Amino acid sequence: FRYAKDAMMKAKYWAYRDRKTRKRNFRMLWVQRLNAAVRAQGFTYSRFAEGLKASGIGLDRKILSDLAVTDEAAFKGIVDQVKSALEKKQNESKSKKAA
């Protein structure tokens, strides 16, 4: 009976730990997928994330990585919006420096 109890405690420990780890692993996977898809479009992931914020696109990493894998045309449209938002942001910063 004692060994069964110990096995159950250990199983609960591993289950708890892995529930936390699974979230981390999926987030890393989504970021890797996004990085690969965005680099194919001529960006880095960090610039893409900056452009997402500047353009006001509220999609999360999970949805974006799913779009990058399944619907390349929609993802390309998002990347184009991000490019225009980054260009607009860059032009605004240049005009502020000139003034």
* Domain spans, the chain: 2-98
**What single DSSP character describes residue 60?**
-
Q: Which CATH class is domain 2-98?
A: mainly alpha
Token reading at 15: 């289950």
> Tens-digit pLDDT profile for the chain (99 aa)?
889 999 999 999 999 999 999 999 999 999 999 999 999 999 899 999 999 999 999 999 999 999 999 999 999 999 999 999 999 988 888 887 776
d(CA 40, CA 53): 20
Asked if 50 contacts 19 with a C-beta cutoff of 8 angstroms, the reply is no
Give pTM, 2 decimals. 0.80
Confidence at residue 99, expressed as pLDDT on a 0 to 100 scale:
61
d(CA 1, CA 76): 59
**What single DSSP character describes residue 57?**
-
Q: Which residue, among 68, 74, 81, has the nearest Cα to 39 in the 3D structure?
A: 68
Confidence at residue 46, expressed as pLDDT on a 0 to 100 scale:
94
Find where tokens 């607009």 sit: 88
